[in-house]
Copies of this chain bind each other. A is one copy, B any other.
């Protein structure tokens, strides 16, 4: 089916949203999730005992979708699977722009009944050119308009990231964890079994959405590989696309079969195709968050030479190993830089070859150190190490001002890596530090490894882009 982007525009930016089949047993999760929704919200439910609860929420209920007195942009369908066909017929008759089927129990169960029902829904929707999202998924999230998956999600702010996920849990986790780390979504969609609209449709759509600057995807498989990679190549030429593929191993592939009924593909062929399209492959939730963070905040990364400063002796060794193991380099600085450092660096308990170790007294000279690294011709990227729960506020404000200054005036990518203990106090402070640096455009990563990997992935993206579409 050819997706109609006018319909998707209505679904992703609804003015009128209807929840079909929400119930007390699930604590009216879908209606409650839309408490932040800025448009018109209706319910469709026929069970009298449920209608009571829906009225108590202040939501107008109808016993049929067809009775809704205005055009419907998005229907969220949470009925038992046996009723799904009837609801789909109503959606088609009512000319709903798109319906998200939360309902599960189809091909992913590997049962005859589930597969048969799924075939029926697919054929019916395709005949009617109906835009069905799912089934077996969490659907659309648009925080700017307050369209949500659950009540923990944020609303009222909107970022620049589009996220497309075959897993509802991964979509929800990406949205929440990303937000905690300053990576905000503009729109996301969890599409589960993807029986009518598939990943390629959402990718194509997000690729043309001017509000979306970076796209992340969690996929377990694609229906039409040729089409997917054609769209991927087109979109990746315009904006970064980062893809986390589940089912890379035999074990993982078996799990995807139970989960979304995806067919196995060879991982090597997949990886090569992703790369040929200019998209970036990642393998973890943490890595997709970090890589998107790097692509949202960092200046374009064109070199692999990194300078690190701000740490004590042991951490300087650790970050040097981690950066090198991520395929980046920590070169020696220029002789001019060493000559200048030698004029003020206190050589007790720390070196300045690179990393420039400032564990103790030398941290006071951070302004001069960062300026030397900014000028150094051997250095492409700057990394500042910071620690939650040990610095003073004054020092933090100074570090943020220095790094933000470089971010503004220099083409060299700058980032911070934040060490923190696994305690509520440290994580609270870490959250504040991340906000401060990122507020100034300096991405901040929460382990050495995650920071190094994100920088490396950003470098891969710009290198690939350059080789596929030379500047």
Contact = CB atoms under 8 A, between A and B. Distances in A.
Interface of A: 81, 104-105, 108-111, 136, 165-170, 173, 176-177, 180-181, 218, 220, 246-252, 254-260, 283-286, 312-318, 320-325, 329-330, 347-355, 357, 359, 419, 421-425, 427-428, 430-431, 446-449
Contacts of A257: 351
Contact of A424 (B255, B322, B348, B431): B431
B421 A176 contact: yes
A250 B446 contact: no
A115 to B, nearest CB: 12
Contacts of A431: 422-424
Nearest to A446: B422
B313 A251 contact: no
Contacts of A320: 247, 249, 251-252, 254-255
Given A169-B312, A313-B258, A355-B255, A324 B427 contact: no
Contact of A321 (B111, B252, B316, B322): B252
Given A285-B318, A329-B251, A351 B425 contact: no
A317 B259 contact: yes
A221 B136 CA distance: 54
A51 to B, nearest CB: 25
Given A109-B348, A256-B317, 13 more contacts: A104-B349, A108-B349, A165-B314, A169-B313, A176-B421, A177-B422, A249-B320, A251-B321, A254-B353, A258-B351, A258-B353, A284-B448, A286-B447
Nearest to A180: B422
**Max chain B CB contacts within 10 Å: which of A105, A168, A252, A431?**
A252
Contacts of A105: 347-349
Q: Nearest 6 CB-CB pairs, A to B? A: A258-B351, A167-B314, A249-B324, A252-B321, A259-B313, A246-B317
A244 B167 CA distance: 36
Contacts of A181: 422
Nearest to A324: B249
Contact of A427 (B169, B247, B423): B423
Contacts of A246: 314, 317-318, 321
A249 B321 contact: yes
A253 to B, nearest CB: 8
B321 A169 contact: no
Contacts of A258: 313, 316, 350-353, 357
A168 B257 CA distance: 49
B255 A351 contact: yes
Contact of A167 (B317, B329, B330): B317
A351 B325 CA distance: 37
Given A259-B357, A357-B259, A423 B254 contact: no
